[in-house]
Amino acid sequence: MSRRLPLLVAVLLAAVLVGSACSSTPTPPQGGEGGTLQLAYLADMAQADPDVFYDIEGNTVILSVYEGLLKYKPDSTEIIPSLAESWEVSPDGLTYTFKLRSGVKFQDGTPFDSQAVKTSFQRRLDVGAAPSYMLEPVASMQTPDATTFVMRLKHPVAPFLHYMASSWGPKVISPKALTDNAGKDHAQTWANDHAIGTGPFQLTAFERGQRYELTRFDGYWGQKAHVDKVEIRIIPDIGTQRLQLQSGDLDAILHSFPQAELASVKSNPDLQVQDFSSYLNNIIYLNTNKKPLSDPALRKALASAINRDSLVTEVYGTYAKPSSSTYPSGLLDPALAPVAYPPSETTAAVGGGKKLTFAYTADDSGVHRRIAELVQQRLDAAGFSVTINEVQLPQVFEYVNDLQAAPDMVMQTNTPDGAHPDMWARIEWYSTGGLNYLGYNSPQVDKLLDQALETTDKATADRAYGQAGKILAQDTGIIFVADPRDVMVLRKNLTGIEHVPNYPWALNLAALQKG
Amino acid sequence: MAAAGPVLTPLELTRRRRAWAGWVRLGRLERGGLIVLALTTAVALLAPLLAPYAPTTAVHPESFAPPGTHGLLGSDELSRDLFSRVLYGIRASWLSALAVIASGVLIGGLIGTVAGIAGGWVDTALMRVTDLFLALPAAVLAIAVIAALGPSLPHTLVALAIVWWPWYARIVRAEVRAQAVRSHVDAARLAGVGRARLALRHLLPGAFPAVLVTASLDVGSLVLILAGLSFIGLGSPPPAPELGAMAARGMPYLFGHPWIPLAPAIAVFLLAFAANLAGDGLRDLLEDH
């Protein structure tokens, strides 16, 4: 009797396990309309507050729940209406008048009007987190009537409309929700894990580290979403995501699929690989503030020794091009600020045994690691002695505080906030730029960028941006490696795939359909 | 007629026969384990001679080449020869494991002997310190040490040596104390043998078999812990060929190019498996005596 007990327990346990496994896998509904879209994030998005959120993972949630005044046309840099139907810019570039859409309702039923826009924009300034820079140049906001919103700027800002269309640009939050949950921190505690906007989806669950759930908002003013629900689970391992995609538990992997594995996915009849143009840019920052790379000639020699073009083909295959300009392709005519790194004869004399440290941020696709190790291989062959280190992004932001202790080289893939050259140059290589990790500093570049910012004539401004890029290229302050494409792997039955180059790792969820 | 070989006394003859009989009586697995162990040690020592290519440079014209096309196991994601890397990886894992065990035996043995012989408050103090270290989970303490010192193979080894000695201290102390009450030790003491000689000649040899068996069983665990630490990025920085790191770096390619993560992973498995079998075999052999 007692010997049977363990068996009995095992059988019961197995039954419970099987039972729970069955109940946790709901059968996905079939058919063109409705259904639940299953997506995955590799990491937590941490923040649902559009005035604080400044990450890439999480774009899909923010862009589905909230809307700004403007947005980008799919596959284009063209700005199109969103909550604003039309807009006008005064000839001096100081007054922006937006004609707002009428009949729009927030997801909590509150009607949308110009006052709501003003409240939200003011909140972004009050919260004062990183993305608030887009509204810093605003001197005053007026609401002459319910559908007119006017902003006056302190000085002309060439990319201001792009600020309004950026995925990190100012969004409009329900004023009622902001008042009801105001607290003492401009409703930040609430907005952290709640969201009420005007977008095609409502945020119905925000379980940090677990899952997010979006439910179709039937009162949406525009084209209503096709699917009923979107479930986004946190699956921190790309291999697990891949298995779930193959078995149909996931509908798409939106980023970081290992490049080398794409070929084997293409032969799978259930899956499709889609790649889109993007402003993603893989770059290597050089520490110009410390020996040995404070020497421009050495930086140039190093850039050539990397033999970049063959490196890009080796790592990305056909899913990236070697950068042809200091700006991501599509932001500025590449002829205005070209870069090229003619490969050099690799002799040990180039490096002369100099020790270099190379830090790169971890990425799940294996791309960063491969580039880092290839760079190490090639620089070692050229006589350098390179130590590579995988680091986390917060560490990278610390480097600028102590440039002598910072690595000699830092590699990352970045993207501009909007499709305007200023939104790239100003963060990447302006002396106080937010992503200028290794403190590149050229007064001449700063001056050109400041001039361009206030120039209303586009051609003149572009020339100034080009000139700034050229100086940086001659200086080899940054090595521009690759313009990768935004690559996604989706189930074959997904249609309505709509991608905006400036919204990396994101698709328009409202347009997606499960066939 | 001159003797053709060394003349064996009957006693020696019996010893040899006994050893052989022990070998024969070992299970086939254990025997295999011992042989693999010997082979592995040979491979580890001779890796630079056996490897057809340098482990850290791109030697093949293409990356992701399947096994057999370029080199025995193909090329990895950076066109390096996977077979050569695995060989060097085995060398690093194996020699590291042996080094940690050697230092563990040395430190632990010293502390155990002192505690065992001295007795009294010295014993109590030393054993409480040992308990303190025993209470710490080895892998977690190693991670803490590496986090403080920075990731590199020497740091990993230091970290593991710090957590590995307490086992040996306990074993040696127990054995020394067990030996101390036996008559041959009393006899030696009566004959006026000094403390140091007593410890070295009469007490420690008795502890030897137990330590040897534990050590050989530990090799397997150490290979696994080393691989685990290097898998999570706490081993040598790249491009050093380490089995754990190679498996970790190969993970993204598991489905399309499975040989890249699997070759080092299988090597780890075989090393640990062989070490365990050999440990069992060694115990059976020594028990015969």
DSSP, residue by residue, A322-341: E--BSS-BTTB-GGGSB---
Give the residue ranges of DSSP H helices in A132-288: 160-165, 175-180, 188-193, 238-247, 262-266
ipTM for the predicted complex comes to 0.70
Mean of the per-residue pLDDT values for chain A? 89
Q: Report the candidate in B131, B108, B80 with the shortest Cα–Cα distance to residue B263.
A: B80
pLDDT band for position A25 (cuts 50, 70, 90): very low
Pairing, β A385-391 against β A355-361? parallel
Is B237 contained in some domain?
yes
In a domain, B58, yes or no: no
Least confident among A130-139, A289-298, B9-18, B33-42: B9-18
Is B4 part of a structural domain of the chain?
Answer: no
Sheet order of strands, A36-41 included: A36-41, A229-234, A211-216, A201-207
Domain limits at B94? 27-50+70-287
Rounded to two decimals, the pTM is 0.81
Closest CA to A261 of B63, B247, B164, B180: B63
Q: What DSSP string runs through A32-51?
A: SS--EEEEEESS------TT
Q: Do A239 and B252 touch (CB under 8 A)?
A: yes
Is B105 within a domain?
yes
The verdict on a CB contact (< 8 Å) between B239 and A364 is no
Closest by CA to A165, choosing from A482, A417, A357, is A417
Q: Where are the alpha helices (DSSP H) in B191-258?
A: 195-197, 204-231, 243-250
Q: Which residue has the higher pLDDT, A183 or A287?
A: A287
Residue A310 at interface with chain B, using a CB cutoff of 8 Å: no
| Count of all residues that appear for chain B in the document | 289
Tokens of A48: 């649902």
- CA A20 and chain centroid, separation: 37
pLDDT, mean of residues A464-468: 95
Establish if B117 belongs to a structural domain. yes
Q: Which A residues in the span 193-222 are in contact with B, Cβ-Cβ below 8 Å?
A: none
* B204 domain-assigned: yes
In this structure, what token pair is assigned to residue A503? 């919204």
Q: Is the pLDDT of residue B289 over 60?
A: no
Residues of A in contact with B64 (CB under 8 A): 260
Provide the percentage of residues in chain A whose pLDDT is more than 90. Answer: 76
Whole-number Å distance between alpha carbons of A386 and A408? 10
Output the pLDDT for position B7: 62
Split into its structural domains, chain B has a count of: 1
Q: Which of A294, A287, A307 is nearest to A371 (CA)?
A: A307
**Percent of chain B, pLDDT > 70?**
91
Question: Tens digit of pLDDT for each residue in B34-80?
Answer: 787 888 889 999 989 998 998 888 888 888 888 888 888 988 888 89
pLDDT for A68 equals 96
Residue A209: count other Cβ atoms within 10 Å of its Cβ: 9
B232 touches chain A (CB under 8 A): no
For B148, residues 6+ apart whose C-beta sits below 8 A from its C-beta are none
Average pLDDT of chain B?
A: 84
Instruction: Name the helix (H) or strand (E) containing A138.
Output: strand A138-145
Residue A297, Cβ density class (10 Å: 0-12 exposed, 13-18 middle, ≥19 buried):
exposed
pLDDT band at B5 (very low <50, low <70, confident <90, very high): low
The CATH number covering residue B255 comes to 1.10.3720.10
Torsion of the alpha carbons at A341, A345, A348 and A351, rounded to the nearest 10? -20
Query: Chain A contacts of B239, Cβ < 8 Å?
Result: 373, 376-377
pLDDT for res A16: 44
**How many contacts does A have with B, using Cβ atoms within 8 A?**
53
Q: Tell me how far apart the alpha carbons of residues B246 and B266 are, in angstroms, rounded to a whole number.
A: 11
Is the CB of B59 inside 8 Å of chain A's CB atoms? no
Contacts A314 to B, Cβ<8 Å: 63
Nearest CA in chain A to B58: A377
Whether A11 shows a pLDDT value over 50: the answer reads no
- State residue A322 phi and psi, 5-degree precision: -60, 135
Pick the residue from chain A with its C-alpha nearest to B249: A366
A380-434 residue pLDDT tens: 989 999 999 888 888 899 999 999 999 999 999 999 999 999 999 999 999 988 8
**B22 in a domain, yes or no?**
no
Q: Say how far residue B67 (Cα) sits from the centre of its chain.
A: 30
CA distance B36 to chain A (A): 33
Q: Determine, yes or no, domain membership for B64.
A: no
